[in-house]
Chains A and B, each alone.
Chain A
Amino acid sequence: MKIKLSSLFVALTILSLILAGCASQPTPTPAVEQPAQPQAPEVTEAPAMTEAPLETEAPQATEAPAEEPAAPSGEPIKIGFFSPTTGFAAADGTSALQSAQLAVKIVNERGGVLGRPLELVYYDDAAKPDQASAIARKLIEQDKVVAAISGSYSGATRAAAPIFQEAGIPMLSAYAIHPEITKTGNMIYRIGTLATTQGRVGAELVGKVMNLKKVAILTIDNDFGISLTEGFKQHAAEIGLEIVLEEKYPLGETEFRPIIGKIKASGAEVVYATGYYNEAANLVSQARDEGLEIPIIGQEGYDSPKFIELAGEAAEGVIITTDLNRDSERPMTRLFLEQYEATYGEKADMVGASAFDAVMVLAYAINTAGSTDPQAIVKAISELKNFEDVASGPFWYYTPEREVVRPISSQIVRDGAFHLYHEFTDEALVKP
């Protein structure tokens, strides 16, 4: 018995060490305060800019020049990149990395930055904070990158941000949406939409666009889900939605049937469910299996062709809020969607679009700054206006809190693909 128990103990210890890696999702910090009140921003251009793309005076430095661009030459300009290409988050990390590489290729085809080729130096952080901070140091000290992009989750991004801030190197968070990331300091910018903002748009979608009242909320228990739900509930109270049921579930959950029974009994007209594509696929399949037929509203976590592949028929009619509008006619969106599929044989997702856009923003900023001086790069990003050279754009402008302001779209699954359902362009609504 003694031996049995001790080996049991060893096994549990070793296993817990391994799994700790997977489980070390950032602990949900309750601090999801709205990022400092928007102090009446210089609303230079009205957000009606969505349909008025290219004719603004915006310095479209990287926008396809009229004549053949000169091939970039000389010493490459290095930007750092890290994302999880192994471990539980490998799917997102791989999408992000491939998209960033695609963006670098496009930038170099257009003549590079400052006439020099752009080079992506990338590492796998396995979505682990400790690895991300080691990678940040390596990128700064050994690779001497001029700027960096996090293609990783919030936990890892939060660990890396202070290191870049301290070193005075600009860092862009592609799709990690924890509010604390950009609060690190003036060198840290975000590409994705802050979760609370997206939650707010979700409530608007339910209450104003779909005209439904009784909501059941299902929250994935991490910083992502909690921030989304917070934004949703705040706006739900403002527009008079009734929340009839609220439940949390853990990351990676596969069994939603018991909760679905409760939703059915609650009398809800609609479900607002946060989560990633794998949880979402299980949730909607099981909901339809168990005969729960009310609309299910998701958000950018669902935004992957894998969601539709895994959920199959059940995905039809699911509506999500996201940054990537699949039906957009904007040239950069089309370019990204088409080239990604052609290059990698998979359909692109929102995570990839964000990483792609991070490279495009950096390339633009370096070109506009005319140098690789960190302060000049940061200044160029903060002054960016109606930036069209991105897949998930246009980026109207950055707030002083370094959050991007742009239209947010909602997409519906029809015939096995995401299509535009509604676009939210009210600046007061989409502004973080």
Chain B
Amino acid sequence: MLLLQNLSNALILACTYILMAAGLTMVYGVLKVLHIAHASVYTVGAFVGVLAFTRLGNFWVALAIAMFVSGIFGVLIYRSTYFYLLNSPRTVPLIASVGMFVMFTDLLQKPFLMGAYQRAFPAGGAGLPAVKTALFSFTAKQVLILLVTVILLAIVYVILTRTKLGLSWQAASMDRDMASAVGVNLNQSIAANFFLGSALAGAAGVLVGVYNNSVFATMGDLPSYKAFIIIVLGGMGSLPGAILASLILAIVENFLVASIGYVLPRDSIAFLVLILMLMFRPNGLLGRE
């Protein structure tokens, strides 16, 4: 019973990782840029979400607004920075990305934006019911997270496999110049990719904000590296890999804590797993090459 409860809690934790990592791995697939500032998009998403929610009182509208604004924010990041650095060595956009992340975090902490204090995000389960069985239970918040994650992943899956846009991303991830030569509008394709990936990060920010009932300027610190580790584990650029890695990491974290306690900070488990992966399967679980 305790086992199943731990497993269901781990599943919810995994959902919060998946949305964040999915966006990151999509961006990596097309651009081959390690987009650390993705975590800023996540924070902005949560912030916009909480603002919209407190003004409008409807979680679903707030989620839509947050995802849209995050998407635009992501595209702006691309157009203002990475766009100019695509042909530089890969460490250049990486460093730009880290710089942006630090800058946005400090900026968001200014009193006229998010300020120093945590804000509550009291959306509860957005009206969804809690699920209680003899063996395990989900709170309304957990049902909400599971539902939103599954819906968003289904949408992403359809776009990736059934649309021209998805095809153009696949082409671009194989060879940008070649894709361009055979008629893919790279600029539009990459911008759309950033928009979708960033909207997912924004949704992740909103869901985590609701789950922990708190939104704050430095909330992206942790996801900035954890999402990154997840996409390395899963295989850079692989969406199923990111999902699998999120699940594994969440389960390992949950069960280690439940069985031996916090022998080491829970969040450092990810790094241990990363080291093992790089030693034995450097291309990740589902990576190609």
Contacts and interface: CB of A to CB of B under 8 A. Distances in A.
A10 B36 CA distance: 12
A52 interface: no
Given A1-B282, A10-B91, A11-B34, A278 B117 contact: no
A258 B250 CA distance: 12
Which one of A22, A90, A258, A261 has the highest number of Cβ atoms from chain B below 10 Å of its Cβ? A258
Contact of A3 (B9, B90, B95, B278): B90
Contact of B6 (A4, A19, A258): A258
A371 B109 CA distance: 40
Contacts of A137: none
Contact of B257 (A10, A252, A258, A310): A258
Given A15-B224, A88-B221, 10 more contacts: A10-B95, A11-B94, A15-B225, A19-B225, A91-B216, A250-B265, A252-B267, A261-B5, A285-B213, A306-B117
A95 to B, nearest CB: 8
Interface in B218-237: 218, 221-222, 224-225, 228, 232, 236
B139 A289 contact: yes
Contacts of B282: 1, 5
A346 B117 CA distance: 10
A15 B224 CA distance: 8
B116 A85 contact: yes
25 contacts: A3-B90, A7-B90, A15-B98, A15-B228, A18-B101, A19-B221, A86-B109, A93-B116, A94-B115, A248-B262, A250-B262, A252-B267, A253-B266, A255-B9, A255-B257, A257-B6, A258-B258, A259-B257, A259-B258, A261-B6, A289-B141, A309-B120, A310-B118, A310-B213, A346-B117
B2 A94 contact: no
Closest A-B pairs by Cβ, 7 of them: A90-B116, A258-B258, A250-B265, A94-B116, A258-B257, A257-B9, A249-B262
B81 interface: no
A110 B115 CA distance: 32
B127 interface: no
A390 to B, nearest CB: 24
A262 interface: yes
A262 B117 CA distance: 31
Contacts of B198: none
A310 B214 contact: yes
Contacts of A221: 262, 265
Interface in B85-129: 90-91, 94-95, 98, 101-102, 106, 109, 115-118, 120, 122
Interface size class of B (residues with CB under 8 A): 35 or more
Contact of A10 (B94, B225, B228, B253): B94
Which one of A11, A18, A249 has the highest number of Cβ atoms from chain B below 10 Å of its Cβ? A11
A64 interface: no
Contact of A11 (B36, B115, B258, B283): B36
A87 interface: yes
A293 interface: no
Interface string B1-45: 010011001000100000000000000000000101000000000
A259 B282 CA distance: 33
A281 interface: yes
A79 to B, nearest CB: 23
A8 interface: yes
A281 B221 contact: no
A265 interface: yes
A90 B109 CA distance: 8
B261 interface: yes
A282 interface: yes
B212 interface: yes
Contact of A254 (B115, B120, B212, B257): B212
A327 interface: no
Given A11-B34, A87-B218, A255-B253, A278 B258 contact: no
A14 B122 contact: no
B254 interface: yes
Interface in A83-123: 85-88, 90-91, 93-94
Interface string A255-274: 10111011001000000000
Nearest to B289: A1
A247 interface: yes
A310 B120 contact: yes
Given A87-B218, A250-B265, A261-B6, A18 B118 contact: no
B238 to A, nearest CB: 13
A94 B98 contact: no
A252 B232 CA distance: 24
A370 interface: no
B99 to A, nearest CB: 9
A11 B98 contact: yes
A331 interface: no
B140 to A, nearest CB: 9
Nearest to B229: A12
Given A249-B262, A257-B9, A306 B118 contact: yes
A38 interface: no
A232 to B, nearest CB: 18
Nearest to A85: B116
Contacts of A250: 262, 265-267
Given A262-B258, A312-B120, A11 B109 contact: no
A18 B98 contact: yes
A255 B6 contact: no
Contacts of A247: 261-262
A278 B118 contact: yes
Interface in B144-202: none
Contacts of A93: 116
A312 B232 contact: no
Interface in A327-375: 346
Given A258-B9, A278-B214, A91 B90 contact: no
A404 B222 CA distance: 38
B161 to A, nearest CB: 25
Nearest to A282: B212
